[in-house]
Amino acid sequence: MQGHNLFGSDDLHGLIADCLLKIQDHIPGLEGVFNRDDLHNRDDGWLVRAHELPAPMGVSGEWVCNLQLSRVDCTRMLLLPSRSDALSFVRTLVDSGVMKYRGRASVTGGTAYYGKESRRSALKVYAKGPEYEYHAGKSANCLVKPELLAYCDAAVRFEAVYRGMELKRLGKHHLLAWNLETVNQLLDIQMEKINLSENVRLSSVDEAKIPKWLRGTYRHWENGEDLMELMSRRTWYRHRKALFEFGVDIAATKPRERQSSDVMAVKRVLDGRWMDVPDWARGTPLYHEPKTA
């Protein structure tokens, strides 16, 4: 309903309701089957006027509809400083990430898959910028808006796929079991299973933008080294002033990273870095916000 899949509402109930209403408004004979106010009742199901359905679908009476879900894709995006950082993150995840009960990821076309052949659930991780750019070039004009391309250029996409068997096991196979927190809860179930066998550093600095003559200083600082011991006082002050422009203060010594033999949950590394719906998209056709009950 918004022409792209970069961001959107977590209100599954509202999205399905609006989708049904849109279908109803465009197909002759379906008018009045769903009541607009009733569709946005999230508590008791939807009252479907079955006798108004055209033949051969038509049956008499009315019933409460609690839709059964056969598959749901839950998504989340991580913003990194640059596209190269996003690609590097996926490679690091492939090389050092291990999912409980499933082991290492399989790789297809630059996408990391955990449980790709599973009949229950799977997780895939990929750099969103190149993928979106590829599909935008072959699709509708609304996909190639500069602001959309810029939004996802340095993003890593996480997609948790839940199929019917797993949704039923979790008690999430009916729409009434979903609320605004369910998407994040199901994503967390998958994310909490992935551990990294080496430390992943997520800097807020795009190293490619730092001049070559400063990168050595920046890397020493990133490693937690005392730069006053590595260079003259005059050079230290000159490099500090230059690195200020890139949001780096070498006077604030960074703690040394833990040894690479440490194991940490990827979810803990990434918490607090997730992308939200951009303010510039709210209130525009680029973001569909379902009606509130």
What's the mean pLDDT when you consider all of the chain? Answer: 79
Helix (H) or strand (E) holding 195: strand 194-196
pLDDT at 36: 65
Q: What pLDDT is stored for residue 276 in this prediction? A: 92
Q: Which residue is it, tokens 């946005």?
A: 40
For residue 71, give the H/E element and its range.
strand 71-79
Show Cβ contacts of residue 30 under 8 Å, excluding neighbours closer than 6 positions.
23, 24, 53, 54
Q: How far apart are the first and last CA of the chain?
A: 19
**Structure token pair of residue 173:** 């196979």
Task: Give the pLDDT confidence score for residue 32 in this predicted structure.
Answer: 66
Contact present, 63 and 50 (Cβ < 8 Å): yes
User: What does pTM read for this prediction?
Assistant: 0.71
Looking at residue 174, the DSSP 8-state letter turns out to be: B
pLDDT of residue 94: 83
DSSP 172: -
**Structure confidence at residue 1 (pLDDT):** 74
Buried/exposed code over 25-55 (b: 16+ C-beta within 10 A; e: otherwise)? eeeeebeebbeeebbbebeebbebeeeeeee
Q: How many CB atoms lie within 10 A of CB 248?
A: 22
Taking 50 as the pLDDT cut, the residues of the chain under it are 50-61, 63, 258-264, 293
Phi and psi angles of residue 138, each rounded to the nearest 5 degrees, phi first: -110, 5
**Rounded to whole angstroms, how far apart are CA atoms 120 and 190?**
12
Cα separation, 89 vs 114, whole angstroms:
16
